[in-house]
Amino acid sequence: MNVLGCNNITFTNFNAIAPANSPNTDGIHIGRSTGVNITNSIFATGDDCISLGDGSKQVNVFNVKCGPGHGISVGSLGKYPEEEPVQDFSVKNCIINNTDNGVRIKTWPDTPGATTVTGMHFENIEMINVRNPIIIDQEYCPWNQCTKEVLH
């Protein structure tokens, strides 16, 4: 589900389930929205349980179960010029189970502009069978589609 350009919206007891091997199945992707609350929900997908794109502000995730999937992500950011900042993201009292990642921030290399991420708060998150609990990836490049040259 995409939540784009929304203000002051709440998802409670919301479940998004897709096969673990299904690509591009974010549970909820939020972009350019303010005041999004996700509570008491379950996300079992083949991609991010919850992802934030540019312009996401005041997003709260409480009492959510995530897994399988890629975890809870901010980004990817920085692929396009003039992206808006991500601000005030809180994840609290969540269980992340059988995922590739726990919580992560992912930005593209050689970004055409600057995108800031501020006010991140992660509290009381239980991770079970999570390959990478915390990742800050500043050279995110899915499917090798980046133009950054590697220097040897």
Instruction: Provide the annotated active-site residues.
Output: 47, 70
Sequence-distant (≥ 6) Cβ neighbours of residue 110 within 8 angstroms: 146, 147, 148
- Of 113, 6, 23, give the one whose Cα is nearest residue 58: 6
Sequence-distant (≥ 6) Cβ neighbours of residue 56 within 8 angstroms: 30, 31, 32, 33, 34, 36, 74, 86, 87, 89
